[in-house]
Structure 1
Amino acid sequence: MVVRRDSAVGEQGPAGAKKTAKTTKVGAAAKPAAAKKAAPAKRAASTEKAASDEKTASGGRARAKKPPEAESRTALVRRARRINRELAEVYPYAHPELDFENSFQLIVATVLSAQTTDLRVNQTTPALFAKYPTPEDLAAANPEEVEEILRPCGFFRAKTRSVMGLSKALVEEHGGEVPGRLEDLVKLPGVGRKTAFVVLGNAFGRPGITVDTHFQRLVRRWRWTAETDPDRIEAAVGALFPKSEWTMLSHHVIFHGRRICHARKPACGACPIAPLCPAYGEGETDPEKAKKLLKYEKGGFPGQRLKPPQAYLDAGGIPAPALGAG
C-alpha cells in the first residue's frame, strides 16, 4: 500500500508540475497582454508630459499647430495673396517712411537708411538737403562737413563717400537727374537692388519688390520661400503676385514687420493674419500682452501722427481695418 501511495504520489507529482507549468505559461501570456493595455496609457502620459514641457518652454502657452509642410503651389499662391489683401485692409496708407520731396532726396535717404532707422534718417536729412539741395551741390561738398551732418546715422564716413559718389555720378553720367532704369540705378555708388526698387516704385511708379530685413524675415516666417539670398527672395516672392502689386506688397510687409511681426518677439496675439501664419506661436499669443508689443512710430499719412495703439484695436485686441486712417 505504501508503494501504491508512493506510486500515486509519483504519478501526481509530474501531473502537478505540468499543471503548474501550464499555469505559469498562462501567466506569462497574460503579462504581455496587460503590458499592451498599459502601453496606450503610457504613451498618453508621455504625450501629455511632452505637451506640458513644450507649454512650459513657451512661457505657459501651447504652440499653435502648424500647417502641413507639403503645401501645393496653388495653395501657397492663394494664401500669400490673401495675406497681402488682409494687410492692405490693415495698412491702407502704407508708404515709404523716409521723408523726401523728389527722387534725389529719396535715393540719398534710402542709402543713408542702411544699418539705422528711418526715424534717425528723417531727423538727419533736413539739414543735409537744406545745405545741399541738388546732386551738384552734394557732389562739390566738403566731405568733412557732410560727415559731421551724417554722424548721427552711423557709419557716417562710408555713407558720406556713397552719397557724394552717387551725386557725382548723377551729375557726370545722368545730367544731374536720377535715372528711371534698374540697370542704371544699380551702377551708382551705394545703390543696390533694394534701394533701386524703392526709387523705381516710389519715385517713378515702376513696380519693384524691396527686400529689406523686415521683408526677408516675414516671408520666411510665412513660408513663402526658404531662400536667404535677397535676389532669390525677390524672384521667389515676385512669382507669387502680379507685377502690379509688387510695390504696395513691399510696403504692406515692411509696415507689418515694423509694427507687429517683430524680430525678437512678434505680437502674435494681436496679429490680423494669425490664422494664415505657419509661425503663429513664436511670439506672444495672449491678446492683452501682445497689444503692449505693438509699435506705431509714425502717422498713417505723411505728416500725421498715429493715435495710441488701443484706439485702433477692436474688442478682440485685433488691429481694426481703418488703422491709422483718422
Structure 2
Amino acid sequence: MTTVVRVLAGGPDAERAVSIDSGRAIAEALGASGRFAPELSIIDRIDQGELAELTGEIVFPALHGPYGEGGPLQRLLEADGRPFVGSGSRAAKRAIDKVVTKSIAAHEGIPVLSTAILDPEDDGLPFALPIVVKPIFEGSTIGLHVCREQHEWLATHRAAQVSRKPTMIEPFVEGRELTVGMIDRGSGLECVPIIEIIPKHKLYDYEAKYAREDTQYVLDPDLPEGVAEIVTESTAKLAHALGIRDVCRADFMLDEVGRPFLLEINTMPGFTSHSLVPKACAHIGISMSDLCAHLVERAMARATTLEMHE
C-alpha cells in the first residue's frame, strides 16, 4: 500500500501565503513521484488533538515562520509520535533565532557581522549608518529595513516600538548575496550548488523573492578564490552545530573585498516556483519530485532506526 504523507501548510505567521504555495508544490511533487500518496492540510495553529485526527503515516510540515518553523509545531509533532520531515524542536528553536544562530556560528569560527538588540526605549545608534534592522524571529525579509539616513532610522525605531517584536540591528553590507542549500539523500546533509541572488532593485525583499520575475539567480557563480569553500563549509558546520536534519539553507553576504558573512539559516526553506533549494537541486539533476521523496524517505528511515533500537 502507498504510504500516505500528510503535508501541512499555512500557519499563523507572516509567511502563510508562501507556506501554502510550498505545501501545494510539495503535495504535487510527492504525488508525481509515484511513491507516496500526499494529503494536504492548510492549517492555522493546531492543537495535539487536531493533529492526531489528521490521517497520514508521515508528516511533511511546510510552514515558515516562528510557529511552524521555530519549534512550537515541532514539539507537537514530536509528541504526536509520527515521523516528520525536518529538524526537531530544539534545532528549530535555535535556528529561527538569528541572534542565537549567530552566537553559535561565531563560536564555530564562522564569520558573522556585529549585532545589537534594538532597545525600544533608546533611539541611539549602536553602529554608524547605513544599518539593517530586522525582526529576530522572522524570515523572507519580512519587517526588514535598510536605514541610510537618520530620519529612516528614527522612523524604523518608532515602528519597532509599536510592533514590540524582538528586533536586531546590523551594519549594512554592500555586496553580493549567496545562498547554500543542504539536503540529506541518505548519507547525511550535503551541499547543493551555491546560488548568487541578483535582485533588480538591489534589495532582495519579499516582492523580489515571491512576486516579481526580475530577480536573477546564478548557479555556481564565479567567486573569489576560497569563498565557495568558506560558505559551503560554514553551512555544513553550522547545520551540524545546531542539530539540523533533512534540509536547510544558509544565506551569506559577500562584501566588496570578497569577505563572506553569515546572515541566517533556515530549517524549512521554501518549495515554491521561486525557491532556491529546488533550483539548486534541479541544477544537479534532482527533480522536485525526487527532492520531496528523498526528504520523506529520510523521515521514514529515522522512524525505522528508532524502532530497531527500542
TM-score normalised by the chain length of structure 1: 0.24
Higher helix share: 1
Q: Which has the higher contact order (CA 8 A, sep 6+)?
A: 2
Higher strand share: 2
TM-score normalised by the chain length of structure 2: 0.25
